[in-house]
Chains A and B, each alone.
Chain A
Amino acid sequence: MKSKSAEAVFEKKRERRRRLAQLPFERKIEIVVELQKAAAGIREDARRKVWPI
């Protein structure tokens, strides 16, 4: 069973995801590219290139 404080944290996470879900699709794609750049900084992979948007 979850504690009240844990549930509050999870609820905040859900709220954040819902906010991100409401962003315009164009902005979401920009975030995908930011995620790709971050991942490339951790591990280079020639097959996983950052998109040229």
Chain B
Amino acid sequence: MEKALQVIEEMTRLGIIKSYAIGGGIAATYYIEPVLTYDLDIFFIPAQEGLDELTPIYEFARGRGYAEQAEALIIEGFPVQFIPAYNDLVREAVADAATLTYRGSKANVVKAEYLVAIALQTGRAKDRERVIRLLDGGAVDRTVLAGVLEKHALVDKLKKIGGGTDEK
């Protein structure tokens, strides 16, 4: 996986993407217990806003000989899903990312508070489960979270799932 992370960092250096942060199951796994996942989800800010923000990424990948598989690119053997930052919350999550290290390679990762907020906004069953796990895992700064949820009108969504205090 470290080679895939290095390629993504390289894409940033080359200006293929402006910035990025790992999201999804791998980001959650960074903060809580490991979860079954198959894709490395990458939220990114495009180098240029436009109609097809994925084109430069796919052109770069083709140039490197990386295959496409459904919605993912296979980078150094890893399915990587590039997801343009699709709203203000996700853009903020990318801009305010943390740094993780995997086998000596550094990468940006969405902070736990933003993972909670994005999961609340997305709202699928597995996202609600993730919110509960993140809150119970102790990785979330409740003050920071409260600010993010307030800003993005997500406070009620957290209340609806019980705030993560009554789970099994």
Contact = CB atoms under 8 A, between A and B. Distances in A.
Nearest to B137: A21
B6 interface: no
A28 B137 CA distance: 14
Contacts of B25: 32
Contacts of B33: 16-17, 20-21, 28
A47 B70 contact: yes
Interface of B: 1, 25-26, 29-38, 69-70, 77-79, 100-103, 133, 136-139, 167-168
Interface residues of A, number: 24
Nearest to B71: A47
B138 A21 contact: yes
Contacts of B31: 21
B29 A18 contact: no
B102 A29 contact: yes
Contacts of A29: 1, 26, 29, 34, 102
B69 A47 contact: yes
Given A32-B36, A35-B36, A36-B38, A17 B136 contact: yes
Interface in A15-53: 16-18, 20-21, 23, 25-26, 28-29, 31-32, 35-36, 39, 47-49, 51-53
